Copies of this chain bind each other. A is one copy, B any other.
């Protein structure tokens, strides 16, 4: 309890909460909220069902707790970008960040995607406001880059949508990708996909790809 930013807690409750959240992330990603059975989460976490309800008041409560944890992943270096920064560097790093999340936390990405597709019924208006505010400030920075001549004319919204869409695709649509490629993408392929994506988007914006991303 105490604090959401609490230091590592090795109490039995804290350990179980982590196990449950991990199990829930997998189940919700595969079956969606309605399709997920509390019993299956319990099985995966190797705990009796009643324990799940003990730690999280309800299925809803568990889902909400998980969603909140997932939303915290959305922070990145791009949050603090300024007009004086180099757009090529900032955007390349942002794309790389996003791809890394897709690689390491595909289930988190899927749950977020499911939530949005279903009309974001569980995203608090607090989050939405926060997100809109974030968006406005990032759009402003991109527009400043354009005014400063650091970036050719482009609609900032469509640029950001493109970055999100194409990076999250590797998590959300992994089943399709695996099917078409004939195998799951490994770390090496992710690195190639990231390079490819950075090149496509930066070049698409008329920017030069920084050396370290080539």
Contacts and interface: CB of A to CB of B under 8 A. Distances in A.
Interface of A: 29-35, 110, 113-114, 116-120, 128, 131-132, 135, 154-155, 157-159, 161-162, 164-166, 168-170, 172-173, 175-177, 179-182, 192-193, 196-197, 199-206
Contact of A120 (B159, B166, B179): B179
Contacts of A193: 155, 158, 161
B200 A158 contact: yes
A157 B173 CA distance: 13
B117 A172 contact: yes
Contacts of A204: 199-204
A200 B32 contact: no
B162 A166 contact: yes
A32 B166 CA distance: 23
Contact of A179 (B114, B118, B132, B162): B132
30 contacts: A30-B119, A32-B33, A33-B35, A34-B34, A35-B35, A113-B172, A116-B173, A117-B173, A117-B175, A119-B175, A128-B179, A132-B180, A154-B200, A155-B192, A155-B196, A157-B181, A158-B197, A159-B196, A159-B200, A161-B166, A161-B177, A161-B193, A162-B166, A162-B197, A165-B166, A165-B168, A166-B166, A199-B204, A203-B204, A204-B204
A-B complex: 7 closest residue pairs judged by Cβ atoms: A204-B204, A165-B169, A34-B35, A200-B204, A158-B196, A34-B34, A165-B165
B162 A200 contact: yes
A126 to B, nearest CB: 13
Nearest to A176: B116
A164 B172 contact: no
A67 to B, nearest CB: 14
A180 B35 contact: no
A121 to B, nearest CB: 9
